[in-house]
Amino acid sequence: MKRQWIPNSRLIITFALLGAMVFINAFSTHYFQLGVPGYLPQGLLIALVVVSLLDWLLSRRLPPVEISREMPGNLAVDKWTEVKLRIRHQFTEARQIRIFDSVPSDANYQHLPLSIELQPNQISDTHYLLRPLVRGSLQLDKTHIEFNSPLGLWNIRYWAGEPTTAKVYPDFVAIANYAILATENHTSQMGIKKKQRRGAGMEFHQLREYRQGDSLRQIDWKATSRRQKLIARDYQDERDQQIVLMIDSGRRMRAKDDELSHFDHALNSLLLVSYIALRQGDNVSLMSFGGDANNRHRWIPPQKGVDRVKVLLNGIYDLHAQQSTADYITAAEKLSVLQPKRSLVILVTNSRDEDNSELLLAVNLLKKRHLVMVANIREHILDQLDNTPVHTFDDALTYAGVRRFLHERNESHKKLTSAGVYAIDCTANELAVRVSNAYLEIKSAGVL
């Protein structure tokens, strides 16, 4: 463990004062025959050097401080988490130390640096708060420790402990809260409305007594004859269907309406949909497109079972939107090879009018085999500008530009729907509920 000895402000100021006294005394004696005897300030300066050297030698005999860090291996982006530090030492008397952990630049912190008094023969525990700002891998190097020498003339610094690595995921706390609500009895609390539909295109679930409102087609006449009362068939949504989540990781998904980018909102939304779909018994796969040359497409093959949502999390936690432009046609061709079975393809993007023709071609290519849903994210600022009162000529120009942009966007939306595509146009904050509702509606309609 390599230590550093840094002279503290007290030692530096004392050296500076004595040095100034020696200079002033020599100057006054030489030119004005004034001043004190030369050996006095020089003697004081030499004494200070001896004392500081003695303090340095004493500090070398101080035992080291051992420190260990404890933090979760999985963190949520933009959420505070506690990092615990345990300090072990062999000091024979109380000693004040200062601690600063090696928090990277892509994370925020609270309560650092820490100042703690170590008591003899005691293990000390302390903590601080950490908030990662970017998904992916987060590494904290060794911890920086500093304390004073026995005479207080030196600051002793060194690095202790071991590096710690954690994975920063999308905000799975919010997703977990959604997931708790994403049940048949609680979806209305989050705006997700599951429409019940019983009859053709649904899988048989169970027999039950006939209830008012059931259709005559649901009556099981054989069971009714045996039990001498009306018995109806109960149906459930079809299971084992294929759901493919396509997420645009091009440069337009880097846009932000709040603390999260459109890409992060899209990831959170698709993770919620994947949880609901896995819970419905469907197979879920995911593909990103629009990345750079080294990571143009990321593919997670079909997963089944609610517990497999962790596979999706591990597959996308370090996925980010890139500076390149999304290539819809290449992505559609790639998916046609990766997923030959008929599937519900949910494509989340942020397109402009110049992308419309390419997006429509890609959708038509996907439609040859799959059922397609396109969720197009709209910047929240457009809604704000559209509802802003017009008072000046500049306001009028802005309003006219926004109205034209929204009109062209609406026309693109109509082209998608007329082509038989389930199209959603919404802001990033609305995305999770809108896509989840659309998925449940498609399941209930039995069109897949």
d(CA 316, CA 302): 14
Which residues are CB-neighbours of 38 under 8 A, at least 6 positions away? Answer: 25, 26, 29
Statement to judge: residues 112 and 16 lie in one domain:
yes
95 with 216, same domain: the answer is: no
Helix (H, G, I), strand (E, B) or coil at 248: strand
Same domain, 14 and 139: yes
Q: Is the same domain home to 246 and 149?
A: no
pTM, entire model: 0.70
Whether 228 and 267 map to the same domain: the answer is no
Judgement on whether residues 434 and 341 belong to the same structural domain of the protein:
yes
For residue range 31-88, what is the model confidence (pLDDT) as tens digits? Answer: 445 445 555 666 777 777 787 788 788 878 888 888 999 999 888 888 899 999 999 8
How is 431-446 classified by DSSP, letter by letter? HHHHHHHHHHHHHHHT
The answer to whether residue 189 sits within a structural domain is: no
The answer to whether residue 174 is domain-embedded is: no
Helix (H, G, I), strand (E, B) or coil at 247: strand
**pLDDT digit string, tens, across residues 378-433:** 998 888 888 888 888 888 888 888 888 888 888 888 888 888 899 999 999 889 88
Residues 262 and 323 in one domain: yes
Q: Measure the CA–CA gap between 275 and 63, rounded to whole angstroms.
A: 53
Query: What would the pLDDT profile of 222-242 be if each residue is shown by its tens digit?
Result: 778 887 788 777 665 566 789
* CATH number assigned to the domain comprising residue 433: 3.40.50.410
Instruction: Clarify whether residues 352 and 424 are in a common domain.
Output: yes
Last residue of a domain, which of 118, 144, 168?
168
Same structural domain, 111 and 254: no
Do 222 and 336 sit in the same domain of this protein?
no
Residue 45 sits in a domain whose CATH number is 2.60.40.10
198 in a domain, yes or no? no
Q: What is the mean pLDDT of residues 294-312?
A: 84
Provide the Cα torsion 407, 413, 416, 421; round to 10°. Answer: -170
**Strands 242-248 and 344-349, bridge-based pairing:** parallel
Is there a contact between 193 and 201 (Cβ–Cβ < 8 Å)? no
Percent of the chain clearing pLDDT 70 (strictly above): 82
Asked if pLDDT for residue 194 goes beyond 60, the answer is no
- Give the count of beta carbons closer than 10 Å to the beta carbon of residue 72: 12
Q: 341 near 312, Cβ under 8 Å?
A: no
Spatial distance between the Cα atoms of 448 and 269, rounded to a whole number of angstroms: 21
- The answer on 302 and 434 residing in a single domain is yes
Q: Is residue 148 part of a domain?
A: yes
Domain span at residue 388?
A: 239-445
Q: Examine residue 179 and state whether it is found in any structural domain, yes or no.
A: no
Rounded Cα distance between 312 and 299, Å, is 10
CA–CA distance, 71 with 83 (Å, rounded to integer): 5
Per the structure, how many domains does the chain have? 3
